Chain A
Amino acid sequence: MAEVPEHLLKRAQEARERAEAQQGGGSSAAPESSGAESSEAPAEGSSGGPKIPDHLLDRSKSAREQAAAGGAAPAAAGAVATASMPAGPAQPEPTGPGGGTQRLLTVVKSGSIQDVKATPTDKVHVWPHLLVVEFVAALIFTAFTLVFSIFVNAPLLELANFNETPNPSKAPWYFLGLQELLTMFHPMVAGVTIPGIGLFLLILAPYIDRNPSKKPEDRKFAISLMTIHLMFWATLVLIGSFFRGPGFNFVFPWEVGLFFDL
């Protein structure tokens, strides 16, 4: 069985006490009216007129007539019952439609029991909206790769030869930034320490950047730092790729030509 929240239990208890107090008042008032009832029935009926539904009044009236036709002792008992009957339900002000009585037990605010998690968002179907975009993008890339491959051949130099070191020897382009660092630092710093720290910081970026905002104007520092970082590597890769000639010396490609294979 589901547990009833404490505040609801408390509220129900209060309501019950209030109802009992009113009931007590009503029943203490009822004998008075029943005492006077036999003589002042029409007066009581008119005073309770707006409050007591017609069918209840009719019922009490017919009961009274019955009692008058019957005996005195049962009449008194019936009178008490009929008098308290209209008086009882009259207490919580029966205002329901069609003359019925309704009682408000409690008001449950939305979110107090059920947590509404799904806020309505503007959604579209994956098919066709997303799949079409993906398909076209894949098609474009396939076409580009195919056409590019028809016109540009992948390099295949002479057979590997340990006795003949090409000058310059270059790493794949994405490592040329590191190779460029080698000209400036000790190999351990350039090849291990700097890229290691860089990778480590990159992985930890979400835990370092505690700023919850996604707006560019709130993230000026993070964006600047990343941009500088990316530009730093891009510059190094570009220099390593195009501006390094024999002996890995700095050259201008338009003077001595390119020393770059993909």
Chain B
Amino acid sequence: MAKQPKPPASERAKQAMSGMMGDVQGSQAWASIFRPGSIFRKGYSDSPRNRSYVIMNSVLYHLHPVKVKRHAVKVSYTLCLGGLSFFLFILLTVTGIFLMFFYRPTAAQAWDDIYVLQTSVTFGLLVRNMHRWAAHLMVITVFLHMARVFYHGAYKPPREFNWVIGVILLTLTLLLSFTGYLLPWDQLALWAVTVGTNMMGFTPVFGDQVRFVLLGGVEIGTDTLLRWYVLHVLMLPFVIVIFMAIHFWRVRKDGGISGPL
């Protein structure tokens, strides 16, 4: 009896894998996850039709159209600043959620929590560093994005209102950064915020009230910490996400990013 030569192990593994993938991709669960036309259902080979399907049949369709003007993808025009600001926001959200697991916003515990985070938590120091540097970076990219838009005259009709939204986003970014500044509850945080809020206390007519609302009292204290913590991790992100949604939506509705000069 002639023995059938066995195919090499790599070949057999490949066959088993493709068989398994076929089972998985043919299953109802897989079909329920990926929409008809998704490249994860029908496979991807490079064709104009499939290039459209990548966007059309994924959640990315909420952010991007299927096609954009050719100049819109030129890095030298946008410098990616708007997109990078958004990406830094995501990075800050991810690292910020990590930090929230180890932080209590009270005057008695805040500083100790940060100290323990840096010394005893795996990657704690690294993630805190990333959160802080990404925050400064985001202020810079948002600011540069505004300058870029101005110099291109991209705020002109029909994009006037999106510029207004953009200035609001810049203000919210600064507020997010500033509220986060207090949270470590060290000398730097305390006195930087003291200087900042003293300035706001000079608002005409109701300056004292503004300061009282911001600080949750007449002086910076544990109430201020809680207040700014809630602002920083919940309220301001909530507001800025809404404005970002409007901002991105308007970019598309106003005909994509502005044309070349």
Q: Using CB atoms and an 8 Å cutoff, list the residues of chain A in contact with chain B.
A: 121-131, 133-134, 137-138, 141-142, 145-146, 148-150, 152-162, 164-166, 169-175, 178-179, 182, 187-188, 190-192, 199, 202-203, 205-207, 209, 211-216, 219, 222-223, 226, 230, 261-262
Using a CB-CB cutoff of 8 Å, which residues 166-190 of chain B contact chain A? Answer: 167-168, 171, 174, 177-178, 181, 184-190
CA distance in complex: A120, B197 (Å): 54
Q: Is residue B67 within 8 Å, beta carbon to beta carbon, of the partner chain? A: yes
Cross-chain contact B156 with A214 (CB below 8 angstroms) = yes
Identify which of B52, B91, B133, B196 contacts A171 (C-beta below 8 A).
B196
Contact B80 A137 (CB under 8 A): yes
14 A-B pairs besides A203-B168, A214-B156 with CB distance below 8 A are A123-B68, A130-B68, A130-B73, A146-B126, A150-B126, A160-B185, A160-B187, A162-B190, A166-B188, A171-B192, A172-B177, A188-B202, A206-B155, A214-B258
A202, B149: Cα distance in complex, Å: 12
**Contact (Cβ within 8 A) B196 A124:** no
* Chain A residues with CB under 8 A of B155: 205-206, 209
Q: How far is the CA of A174 from the CA of B139 in the complex (A)?
A: 8
How many Å lie between the Cα of A215 and that of B91 in the bound state? 36
Q: How far is the CB of A158 from chain B (nearest CB, A)?
A: 5
With A127-B55, A154-B132, A160-B186 as given contacts, are A191 and B199 in contact (CB-CB < 8 Å)?
yes
In the complex, what's the smallest C-beta–C-beta distance from A148 to chain B, in angstroms?
Answer: 5
- With known contacts A137-B80, A174-B177, A262-B136, A206–B199 Cβ distance under 8 A: no
A58 to B60, CA, bound (A): 72
Contact between B132 and A124 (Cβ–Cβ < 8 Å)?
no
User: B69 contacts the other chain (Cβ, under 8 Å)?
Assistant: yes
Q: How far is the CA of A159 from the CA of B191 in the complex (A)?
A: 11
Is the CB–CB distance between B191 and A138 below 8 Å? no
A164–B187 touching, CB < 8 Å: yes
Whether the pair A191, B200 counts as a contact (CB closer than 8 A) is: yes
- Our pick among B111, B153, B163 for the contact of A214 (Cβ within 8 Å) is B153
B84 interface residue, CB < 8 Å from A?
A: yes
Interface centre among B68, B75, B177 (most CB of A within 10 A): B68
State the interface size on chain B (CB cutoff 8 A).
Answer: 82
Asked whether B133 lies within 8 Å of A152 as measured between CB atoms, the reply is yes
| Measured CA separation A125–B88 after assembly (Å) | 25
| 14 A-B residue pairs with CB within 8 Å | A123-B68, A124-B70, A125-B55, A126-B65, A142-B91, A145-B130, A146-B130, A155-B188, A160-B189, A171-B199, A175-B199, A192-B203, A192-B204, A215-B153
**A202–B167 contact, CB under 8 A?**
yes
Across the interface, do B151 and A124 meet the contact criterion of CB distance under 8 Å? no
With the chains together, A124 CA to B66 CA distance in Å?
A: 9
Q: B residues engaging A (CB < 8 A)? A: 48, 51-52, 54-55, 60, 64-70, 72-73, 75, 80, 83-84, 87-88, 91, 107, 111, 114-115, 118, 125-126, 128-134, 136-137, 139, 147, 150-157, 159-160, 163-164, 167-168, 171, 174, 177-178, 181, 184-192, 194-196, 198-200, 202-204, 207, 219, 258-259, 261
A223 CA to B133 CA in the complex, in Å? 31
Which residues does chain A contribute within 8 Å of B258, judged by CB atoms?
214
Distance of A262 Cα from B54 Cα, bound (Å):
42
Asked if A205 and B195 sit within 8 Å, CB to CB, the answer is no
> Distance in Å from the Cβ of B138 to the closest Cβ of chain A?
10
Of A127, A133, A146, A160, the contact of B75 (CB 8 Å cutoff): A133
Q: Which residues of A contact B52 (CB under 8 A)?
A: 125
The docked-state distance in angstroms from the alpha carbon of A142 to that of B95 is: 12
Please determine whether B48 and A125 come into contact, CB atoms closer than 8 angstroms: yes
* Shortest CB distance B260–A (Å): 9
Give the nearest-CB partner of B221 in chain A: A162
By beta carbon, the residue of chain B nearest A206 is B160
Contact B191 A166 (CB under 8 A): yes
Q: Is the CB of A124 within 8 A of B68?
A: yes
Bound-complex Cα distance A165 to B133 (A): 26
Smallest CB separation, B13 vs chain A (Å): 30
Which residue of the partner chain, among B107, B151, B186, B196, contacts A226 with CB atoms under 8 Å? B151
